[in-house]
Amino acid sequence: MLEIKNLHASINGKEILKGINLTVRDGEIHAVMGTNGAGKSTLSNVIVGHPAYEVTEGEIIFNGQDLLAMKTEERANAGIFMSFQQPIEIPGVSMTNFMRAAVNARRKYQGLEPMPAGEFLKLMREKRKIVELDSKLANRSVNEGFSGGEKKRNEIFQMAMLEPTLSILDETDSGLDVDALRIVAEGFNKLRTPETSAIVITHYQRLLDYLKPDIIHVLIDGKIIKTAGPELALEIEEKGFDWIKEEAGL
Amino acid sequence: MSDNNQFVREVAEKKYEYGFTTDVQTEIIDKGLSEDVVRLISQKKGEPEWLLEFRLKAYRHWLTMEEPKWGHLDMPQIDYQDISYYADPTQKKEGREKKEIDPELMKTFDKLGIPLEERLALSGTAVDAVMDSVSVKTTFREKLQEKGIIFCSISEAVKEHPDLVRQYLGSVVPYRDNYFAALNSAVFSDGSFVYIPKGVRCPMELSTYFRINARGTGQFERTLIVCDDNAYVSYLEGCTAPMRDENQLHAAIVEIVVMENAEVKYSTVQNWYPGDHEGKGGVLNLVTKRGHLRGANSRLSWTQVETGSAITWKYPSCILSGDGSQAEFYSVAVTNNYQQADTGTKMIHIGKNTKSTIISKGISAGKSQNSYRGLVKVSAKADGARNYSSCDSLLLGSHCGAHTFPYMDIHNDTAIVEHEATTSKISEDQLLYCNQRGINTEEAVSLIVNGYAKDVLNKLPMEFAVEAQKLLGVSLEGSVG
């Protein structure tokens, strides 16, 4: 599904990613863990195409396509979705209009006609249930006045609407209480299929308890210094990152 | 903000859709302004003596005045002797009666989406179509007459309803009001006249479409709307002009009189040629619009979507004389490239328990300057007056300007006046968020701008709202909730 080879990226001339290699196969969930400032969010931003980051070397192949040659919206329409660490507020634009624009943009990309209004509203109702968002959401402006938990649930709701093949959860667990975390994680799990994959960026084990990742990567100082099975996350929870750094000779 | 700049550039380079010229034989009087020109205009229109006197008084007063300089505008020098003050595209051709409309004119209005044949017209909308100095046709006149409603060009009204015109003309905007009002009062040509009799609810939307066509001319619209006791009318105004390298002047006066318990809704979608991306050409839109809420519990709302013109100088205002009268001003002003807008309103509270609402949304892009200027005045006798003002500015890019000039003049302790103002930018984060959901930058900006202007667009009648949304660059698919 996704193949990242020797990826170097910088922001404002400062190199953050220093040669990332990562392969995600269909149906896999990968967790990327690491200390603050290690480059975890940079990695997700580069995959989705944040214009502030410059890729200086390497490549990303997504289902056979050269991802770095595609615009942000093309990547999204090709099936990449990011749950933002800090979802953005768009005053005055209702969730309904926003989602309608997004759903129809994807349909246009796929060569389909816009979705009829009735069908669209029905879809909104169905998908809302996955993350227990109430019906008032549809008329509220995008993320405006949403609580931290609602914002994250709203991200997973959008994921449900857009049915991506690769989802990136960028610290989706940050700022969530136990109940909200459960709703978000269970919502995410309902959307899993053997064809969909995910990259989960997190500091903590508790989200991974729900998501059960297949592979854990440790990202330190712009490089993946260790890759192992799910037991690694538990070890990190217990012992932190220092021992991994030492092992890698950092 | 590279993507955003690219979008702004794309908007800037977008062709103005209405920039064509109609090739029609037009009688244009010689350039220049003098008493003789004023007399000539009056004579061409076959006016009574009192109206010529009105014009001459206005002209003589205009000579004593100076152009206002207080606007936040870099106004080009206007050479008033280098403008032709009267252009008639309906001029009789050999072998054709004046009553017959030149097919070229019909075609022009068709192209603008304003069919002049009633069977083709938008259902429920009557149109007065004005090109240059002359009304070409007014539709549904007879049908409206059955209810006693008068809807015709002001030139015809002068002939057919002289008493009504004489009673109200200049009663809301006196010719002494300001420089451009005096100029208009001296040389005004056509515009619409509306009279809704007591107790009548006008069954259709009334509208006037103004088109500038002839080169080197100015357009001096004059519109007068009188809504008698317990009557109601919704009136729409639209306007476009050809693309030209030189500025053209549109100096208008719109007067509205609202009697007891009556209600007038006045909506404008102003799309005059804005000039090119280097700021060359474009219409100078210098307009005095004012409504007088004379009767108790009368209501008036101004809704404007201003996207065109090189310069807009316009303050649709309300004088709230009737006790319990209510006035509203809803405005979206978009400026791009080198456009300049200085627009807002005046709410003059005189009657008791009067209420006014001001919602202004400015959107600036390119190197444009966009100012809100508003006055809320509460006179000593206006017990219980209330005003709420909200003025928001949205900036696209970093080379444009947004300014707010609110004035308050309160002479009554019981008044409650609230003012809120915000300035925001479309952030890179907002665009990224939309892009990540598959929405391209152009659509994202449209979505955000449309959402921002929603409170005002919602006030427009349906057909107009659609046109306005298109003007704001919104595709219809995304705009229907």
Nearest to A90 among B430, B438, B443 (CB): B430
Q: Compare A102 and B336 and report the one with higher pLDDT.
A: A102
> For residue B5, which of B425, B365, B472, B369 has the smallest C-alpha distance?
B365
Q: What DSSP string runs through A55-94? A: EEEEEEEETTEEGGGS-HHHHHHTTEEEE-SSPPPEEEEE
Calculate mean pLDDT across residues A136-158. Answer: 90
A52 touches chain B (CB under 8 A): yes
Amino acid at B125: T
Cβ-Cβ contacts under 8 Å, B424 against chain A:
91
Kindly list the distances between the CA atom of residue B81 and the CA atoms of B32, B72, B231, B286, B304, in Å, as whole numbers in the listed order: 4, 25, 43, 17, 31
B69 touches chain A (CB under 8 A): no
A151 touches chain B (CB under 8 A): no
Nearest to B448 among A90, A106, A162 (CB): A90
B119 touches chain A (CB under 8 A): no
pTM score of the predicted model: 0.83
B440 vs A71: CB contact, 8 Å cut-off? yes
A92 vs B478: CB contact, 8 Å cut-off? no
pLDDT, position B458: 84
**Distance between A81 CA and the closest CA of chain B, angstroms:** 7
- The DSSP 8-state label assigned to residue A51 in this structure reads T
pLDDT of B13 > 70? The answer is no
Q: Compare A204 and B14 and report the one with higher pLDDT.
A: A204
Query: Rounded to 5 degrees, what angle do the CA atoms B195, B197, B201 make?
Result: 95
Q: Is domain A2-247 classified as CATH 3.30.930.10?
A: no
B333-370 pLDDT, tens digit each: 988 889 999 999 999 999 999 999 999 999 888 889 99
Strands B311-314 and B326-335: unpaired
CB B164 within 8 A of CB B196: no
In whole angstroms, what is the distance from residue B265 CA to residue B235 CA? 6
The residue in chain A having the minimum alpha-carbon distance to the alpha carbon of residue B480 is A97
In whole angstroms, what is the distance from residue B252 CA to residue B188 CA? 8
What are the residue ranges spanned by the domains of chain B?
2-479
B398-437 pLDDT, tens digit each: 888 999 999 999 999 999 999 999 988 888 899 999 999 9
Residue A2 sits at φ, ψ, to 5 deg, of: -130, 130
pLDDT, position B480: 23
Kindly list the distances between the CA atom of residue B395 and the CA atoms of B20, B308, B401, in Å, as whole numbers in the listed order: 30, 17, 8
B314-342 pLDDT, tens digit each: 999 999 999 999 999 999 998 888 999 99
CB B148 within 8 A of CB B184: no
B226-277 pLDDT, tens digit each: 999 999 999 999 888 888 888 899 999 999 999 999 999 999 988 888 888 8
The mean pLDDT value of chain A amounts to 93
Give me the residues of B, 422-481, that contact A with CB < 8 A: 424, 427-430, 432-441, 443, 447-448, 450-455, 477-481
Nearest to A94 among B3, B440, B481 (CB): B481
* B102-109 CB contacts, 8 Å cutoff, 24+ apart: B102/B24, B102/B25, B104/B22, B104/B23, B104/B24, B105/B22, B105/B24, B105/B131, B105/B136, B107/B22, B108/B22, B108/B24, B108/B211, B108/B213, B109/B136, B109/B209, B109/B211
**Distance between A125 CA and the closest CA of chain B, angstroms:** 14
Token pair listed for B75? 């106004």
Nearest to B454 among A92, A109, A117 (CB): A92
CB B266 within 8 A of CB B43: no
What are the residue ranges spanned by the domains of chain A?
2-247
The residue in chain B having the minimum alpha-carbon distance to the alpha carbon of residue A159 is B437
Q: Which residues pair with A63 in a beta bridge?
A: none
B433 vs A93: CB contact, 8 Å cut-off? no
Beta strands in chain A (DSSP E): 2-11, 14-24, 29-33, 53-62, 65-66, 80-83, 90-94, 141-142, 166-170, 197-201, 215-220, 223-228
pLDDT, position A25: 96
In whole angstroms, what is the distance from residue B326 CA to residue A217 CA? 65
A88 touches chain B (CB under 8 A): yes
**Distance between A239 CA and the closest CA of chain B, angstroms:** 36
Amino acid at B379: S
Tell me how far the alpha carbon of residue B88 is from its chain's centroid: 22
pLDDT, position B94: 52
B53-102 pLDDT, tens digit each: 999 999 999 999 999 999 999 999 999 999 999 988 886 655 555 567 78
**Distance between A169 CA and the closest CA of chain B, angstroms:** 13
Q: What DSSP string runs through B415-437? A: -EEEEEEEEEE--HHHHHHHHHT
In whole angstroms, what is the distance from residue A111 CA to residue B390 CA? 43
Query: Rounded to 5 degrees, what angle do the CA atoms A36, A41, A42 make?
Result: 110
Cβ-Cβ contacts under 8 Å, A101 against chain B:
434, 437, 439, 443, 447, 477-478
CB A102 within 8 A of CB A162: yes
Helix axes B428-436 and B2-13, enclosed angle (nearest 10): 90
Which of B436, B469, B477, B480 would best serve as a mutation to test chain A binding (most A beta carbons within 10 A)? Answer: B436
Count of H helices and E strands in chain B?
13, 22
Which of A12, A90, A144 would best serve as a mutation to test chain B binding (most B beta carbons within 10 A)? Answer: A90
- The DSSP 8-state label assigned to residue B171 in this structure reads S
pLDDT, position B123: 64
B103-162 pLDDT, tens digit each: 888 888 888 877 777 766 666 788 888 888 888 888 888 899 999 999 999 999 999 999
Token pair listed for B303? 């809704």
Token pair listed for B385? 């007056």
Token pair listed for B393? 């500015």
In whole angstroms, what is the distance from residue B104 CA to residue B120 CA? 17
A226 touches chain B (CB under 8 A): no
